Structure 1
Amino acid sequence: MGSSPDIVSPSSRIRRALWPGLWVPVVILLAGSALSFSVAKRVSSQTEALAQQHYHLQHQALVHLVLEHLYRHGNDVSLLKVPLAKAMPQHLSLRIDTLERHTKKPLLQLGSIHAPLARQALRSELDIGGHRSMVTTMPDAQLLKAPAQNLRWLVLVSGMALTLLAFVLSLYLCWRNHQQRKLVQSHRKDLKTQSQKIANLNVEKVALRQALNDSENRSRDLINLSGNLIAELDEQGQIGYISALAADIFKQAPSDLDEKPFQQLVVQVDQRRFVECLEAARADQDITQADLALAADDSEQPVPVTLRLKALTDPVRGLVGFRLSAQIKTRPHD
């Protein structure tokens, strides 16, 4: 048996609640974070290696400076204090010990450091004229570790900032896509509703047209069955519609009488009375009545009728025409 369309599974509800393309910002966040950590670690390692090389070069430069002064001044260590103090870099300490006798007191010690790295200390043994000495340099953490850590944090923060920016932008685009989809679905529902309304209106239109046709046929039948001549005239008195009885009276098709002044269908002696009847209907805005005769075919006798006229008015244009009813008093003889 098929499942009911009203029953929605939990997985379908979750898929509807989640924004489309949400996996893109997740991938950006994970990939960007991993790449930031990897690059930060690699840059930190390279920076630390460069700091180590720089430290080795500084140690060798100090050893060469000590060796040069000792050769020049005959192993007088006391004269090394001033030139070494000028040449000493920051975050580095230097110590010169003699190897001639066992003593812990250095011949010369320069520089003070707050976080010494004892394992990174470098030692060089000097032998000048039989006098052996040891030059020891010890770096501070600020010299070897701090640059690598600072650069690592800089790369990491920059990478994470760019990753978060891309994550937020992609998340915003997912949200916009979700809103657009909701809007499209809403428009589709509205379109479906409007299409249904249009279909209903078309059905109603067909029904109304059928009812109008039925009403028109019924009105035409009633007009024909009434035995009266019915006509509609414009404001100049010209025929716009005339019933089928006109064919019996005037021996002309109703369509042949379109736009013909109704006054011409009245016998000559009664035409002035017809014009007065039109004027009275126009002035009184009420039904006017007159007894006169209609001019039938030349071979026929005039048809006496009781004529009734009503003026038709429009709020904007004023008088727009007349409705006319002619009740035959006596039928023309065959």
Structure 2
Amino acid sequence: MAQRTFIRSVTTSGNAPLGRLTAIVPDTLLIGDLPGTGTPSSSTYLRGDGTWATPSGSGTVTSVNLTAPAAGLTVSGGPITSSGSITLALADDLAALEALTGTNTLYYRSGASTWSAVTIGSGLSFTGGTLSATGGGGGSGTVTSVGITAPAAGITVSGSPVTTSGSITLALANDLAALEALSGTNTIYYRSGTSTWSPVTIGSGLTFTGGTLSASGGGPTPTPTSVAPGSSITATANTEYIIAGGIPATLATIKLPTSASVGDFLTIIGFGAGKWKLTQDLSQNIHDAVLGDTTSGPTGYVLATNQYDCITLRCAATNDWVVSHRNGVPTVA
């Protein structure tokens, strides 16, 4: 146990002052005799509040490293596992900027990690951090008349030219004036006349909401036209024909429409036992991707081979019809 010596008593001779000591009696103070709570030991210390406490914190650093950002800095010398230095260096644009030597100079990034001085052109100055225009352009003189010429349509001009002082007035005209006067919103307009714009009426099967024009349905479903057994008719474009049943069960003949537009359709639905035959007029043709083409003109035809054969054709050109859907395997000739 560590010991400390302190003065327990002082003996003087007669009325001698303390400066004339005749005896000093030593004594020993043990660490355990010090006041305080806790247990004194080689791993504790006496705090100011009278408590024997263990110092906080522990650990051993074995490696130190530094990670550089993606650009601008480089790191070398790491990791350090015993002793040493980690070195940072500028790179990329930061290195280029640090290397600049000019003062009172504007710089621009002229390439990757490259900064170049801006050349101050004529009519400009750069002094003390201020970039200025040094003049209003060349030439001088006195304006004696100012006029504005309007375009051929859309704008009118009045009050021109001004020779002393005054104002020139521009006004919208023609279609521009008509468009400016429109007040509708969420409305489609069309040019219904000269300098006249009118709202489009959204008909059945269509909707227009939030700027989107949409078809709200699949359009009207055509009502099939019945064809009696043994009949011979010329079809109308965009029509469905159904071969009716009946006695006698004789062949119904339907000729291609004499007038049709590209995209028009023709449908024949087989039902009657007499079946159907689709014939052609002069220069007309029918094309089937699988069964081939008919003979051009009046001698060409498509003939149902079964009672329930069906066919739909689309007009692809003035005299050409293409089979877009077929049920059954009719004869093509």
Structure possessing the higher radius of gyration over alpha carbons: 1
Q: Which has the higher helix share?
A: 1
Q: Which has the higher strand share?
A: 2
